[in-house]
């Protein structure tokens, strides 16, 4: 069997959006991202950066994207999970921003998680778990 590819750290996530400008406002206002310069593509979009974490999100215009915003939040679908240093404060801020959410507790670990959606129905998660390498150290 061939050796696995050598990969580096995560560079960015790409998410579909009907309205890149409105979606950018959500990520900047609610999650603290900032808009950055973007390559001159032939389609609309936004590049966002959270300087504290180094996480980039590329919002890509998709006029055919049809989010199911009238359905309950599905915590078992594709989603982006990010750590939060202060879970209780995150809940307060989501409430202040009038963002609907559902809370869960990670079985076997008891870490609290909150799931919510952006304006395009992309599911996001904030959790109080430790860094992955701390949570799963070498044996």
Question: Region 109-114: what's the mean pLDDT?
Answer: 93
Distance of CA 80 to the CA centre of its chain: 4
Q: Comparing 69 with 123, which gets the higher pLDDT?
A: 123
pLDDT value for 34: 98
Give the model's pLDDT for residue 139.
58
Distance CA 102, CA 106 (A): 13
The rounded distance, in Å, linking the Cα atoms of 98 and 109 is 29
Average pLDDT, the chain: 94
Dump pLDDT digits (tens) for 37-84: 999 999 999 999 999 999 999 999 999 998 888 899 999 999 999 999
Single out the residue of 57, 59, 67 nearest to residue 20, CA to CA: 59
Across the range 14-19, mean pLDDT stands at 96
Domain ranges of the chain: 13-135
Instruction: For domain 13-135, give the fold.
Output: 2,3-Dihydroxybiphenyl 1,2-Dioxygenase; domain 1 (3.10.180)
């Amino acid at each position: 069997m061939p050796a696995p590819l050598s990969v580096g750290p995560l560079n960015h996530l790409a998410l579909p959006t009907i309205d890149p400008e409105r979606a950018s406002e959500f990520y900047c206002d609610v999650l603290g991202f900032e808009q950055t310069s973007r390559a001159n593509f032939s389609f609309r979009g936004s590049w966002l950066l959270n300087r504290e974490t180094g996480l980039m999100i590329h919002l890509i215009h998709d006029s055919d994207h049809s989010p199911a915003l009238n359905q309950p939040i599905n915590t078992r679908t594709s989603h982006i999970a990010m750590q939060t240093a202060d879970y209780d404060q995150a809940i307060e801020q989501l409430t202040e921003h009038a963002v609907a959410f559902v809370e869960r507790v990670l079985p076997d670990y008891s870490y609290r998680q909150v799931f919510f959606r952006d304006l395009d129905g992309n599911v996001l998660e904030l959790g109080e778990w430790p860094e992955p390498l701390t949570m799963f150290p070498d044996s």
